[in-house]
Chain A
Amino acid sequence: MIETHEVRKQFGTVQALGGVSFTARDGQITALLGPNGAGKTTLLRTLVGMLKRDHGSIAVDGVDPERDPLTVRSNIGFLTDQFGLYERLSTREYLSYFGELNGMERADLRRRIDEVSEMLAMDDILERRSKGFSQGQRIKVALARALLHRPRHLLLDEPTRGLDVMSTRAVRQALVSLRAEGCCVVMATHVMQEVSHLCDDVIVIAKGHTVAQGSPQQLCQRTGIANLEDAFVSLVGTDEGIAA
């Protein structure tokens, strides 16, 4: 479970986060909705303890990432919005590296790599070096890396971008099964269809503030708009930023 209360963060004169409060529960997929520049990346970085908040509180399973970042990080699978792989390592070597960094035992690691690879249907690229991978293959590798150490929490920044229909389905199925296992999944996305089909809870942030939290139905009811996309635009209070 991830709980934040009134988290603020300022860079110079820019208020990146002006008061973010939400609760992301275990066994739920929570969507993080917000226009570009709303502060999602800053929020995610603050949650893993890479940035220090100016105000407010954060608890990941009761642990403050600022106090004990290593414990929090070993319990989080983090997929960033931009990421690179290591071209001179094969997918298996890449996954082993991050597994070892998370303190996994060698035998367990080997088993888990096969497990994750099956879950994401990526057996064909497991022994290949990542040079020349397609965007979809790259996302799969990164997602496998985030799932590898069986974290209780997943922070995913647009996990299905650039994926074809089959791969998108594989990822969604993986997320559903993770939810069933009791994981706390937080997913930033711009795909409304994904939100309404997959997510139990939605957090809307705009200009560094949480504007609303609730299930897709609740958000529609609250705004009195039947369509989630229109409801979102009305909550954010502008027509901009939804293009992506």
Chain B
Amino acid sequence: MKSNDRKSAHRQSKFLVVFLKEFRESLRDKRALGLLALFTLMYPVMFGYILNQTIERATRAEREGIELAVIGGAQAPTLMSQLKEKNITVRKLPDMDEEAIGEMLRAKKVVAVLRLTPKFADNYQAMRPARLELWFDSATEQDRRRRDVEDVLRAYNANVASARLLAHGVSPAVLGPIDLQRYDTGTTAARSAGFIGSLMGFLFFPAFFCGMAAAVDSTAGERERRSLEVLMAQPVRTWQLVGGKWLAAGSLAVIGITLELILAHIGLSWLPLEEIGMSWRMGWGDLAMLCLASVPLSLFASAAQVTVAMNARSFKEAQSLVSMLMIVPMLPGLVVSMMELKTATWMYAVPMLSNQTLMREISKGGELGLLPYVLTFACSALAALALVGFASWRMKSERYVLAV
């Protein structure tokens, strides 16, 4: 009994020896640390910037209204007042050449430039078609607001036509056999909410990036540098070797994603998400629970990377295989959003999807209960242990020894 105890204590310490050595080596690897820094710092910053831009763009229309530059507007005072009624700000400008107009549109100060030709008033009075020129830049994503301007112009055109027909004793209804009325139920906010929702799913990718270099280096790298055979000839069990390497890579990923989630939380709490109909109702306690429930995701990612990299024929092959592996965790989330599935309990049992779902549900601010947290934690943890078990079994096999 006593010797058994001592034996297991011994085993534990060798596992730790491998872990500490691999962890120390990773901390000295500038490439691995660079990746870690990139995804913990750069990722939330980039993410916050994109979000901020999206919110800005989505809410600008309501805040600022539409600004339209008009040349020769004095010739059509009715049109000007109709534009004003539709909340379109008119900026009067002297006549400009084509180049100056293009310049102005590229600066995005106005939605479009409306130019009344100098003969507009004459033609109008003579009841000849009076030309209006609408200059716009289709590359600036101002399409919707330009359409609003065109609608006003079309309404003005119809009004004038009706008045003229009435003056000739003809009912204007003759020219309007149908009456089209458009109702757009989608708001800008709702559209960007969908986009941002899918963007948030990406917050968990650092789990796959941060430990990658360490996982590949300590397995495929060790094999390519010819130090694995010596290691395998030591009085150490394969699970201690695989486990130590796995935990070293996994710790980096855990550190990376936890820091990243904290930074993202600070950013998201600060952004005016309510303006686009979204919310980030997460307290520090919720965040701590989310981070804790996501620890096994990093360990699962590292276990998968160690297993794949270990069996690759070369360091290069390991790198490309592990990079390809990153597509896999994206798939469940993609399928769910494509099929527009409602949140269901089974989603908490799929690694990665469970973390994304959990974060989305927490951020809505409802009461979740313990089950989603437990399932999120357990599904990744079990998958990770199964993979480490498989990798240890594989390392012990004769075929693997021969390939070392």
Contact = CB atoms under 8 A, between A and B. Distances in A.
Interface in B206-229: 222, 225-227, 229
Nearest to B241: A101
A52 B398 CA distance: 8
B284 to A, nearest CB: 37
A109 to B, nearest CB: 11
A36 interface: no
Nearest to A49: B233
Contacts of A145: 230
A193 to B, nearest CB: 28
A232 interface: no
B235 A73 contact: yes
A83 B29 CA distance: 21
B28 interface: yes
B234 A98 contact: yes
B401 A50 contact: yes
Contact of B17 (A74, A82, A97): A97
A103 interface: yes
Contacts of A71: 235
Nearest to A103: B10
Contacts of B360: none
B396 to A, nearest CB: 9
Given A71-B235, A100-B13, A101-B17, 20 more contacts: A11-B402, A48-B233, A50-B232, A50-B401, A52-B398, A70-B235, A73-B235, A78-B233, A80-B229, A80-B233, A84-B222, A84-B227, A86-B25, A86-B227, A98-B234, A101-B14, A101-B18, A101-B231, A101-B234, A102-B234
Interface in B161-195: none
A45 interface: yes
| Chain B interface category by residue count | 20 to 34
Contacts of B231: 101
6 contacts: A70-B237, A84-B225, A84-B227, A100-B14, A101-B14, A102-B234
Contacts of A50: 229, 232-233, 401
A83 B21 contact: no
Given A50-B233, A98-B234, A85 B227 contact: yes
Contacts of A11: 402
Contacts of B24: 89, 93
Nearest to B231: A101
B263 to A, nearest CB: 28
**For the complex of A and B, 10 pairs with smallest distance between CB atoms:** A84-B225, A84-B227, A74-B235, A84-B226, A73-B235, A88-B28, A70-B235, A100-B17, A82-B226, A78-B233
Contacts of B401: 45, 50-51
A102 B230 CA distance: 12
Contacts of A89: 21, 24-25
Interface in B285-317: none
A86 B227 CA distance: 8
Interface string B52-90: 000000000000000000000000000000000000000
A80 B230 contact: yes
A102 B235 contact: yes
A93 B24 CA distance: 10
Nearest to A48: B233
B398 A83 contact: no
Contacts of A70: 235-237
Interface in A62-117: 69-71, 73-74, 76, 78, 80, 82-86, 88-89, 93, 97-98, 100-103
B15 to A, nearest CB: 10
Contacts of B229: 50, 80, 82-83
Contacts of A84: 222, 225-227
Contacts of A102: 234-235
A88 B227 contact: no
A127 to B, nearest CB: 15
A163 B136 CA distance: 78
A209 B10 CA distance: 39
Interface string B7-33: 000100110011001001100110000
A88 B226 contact: no
Contacts of B18: 101
Nearest to B240: A101
Contacts of A74: 235
B227 to A, nearest CB: 4
A103 B6 CA distance: 12
A103 B25 contact: no
Nearest to B26: A88
Contacts of B14: 100-101, 103
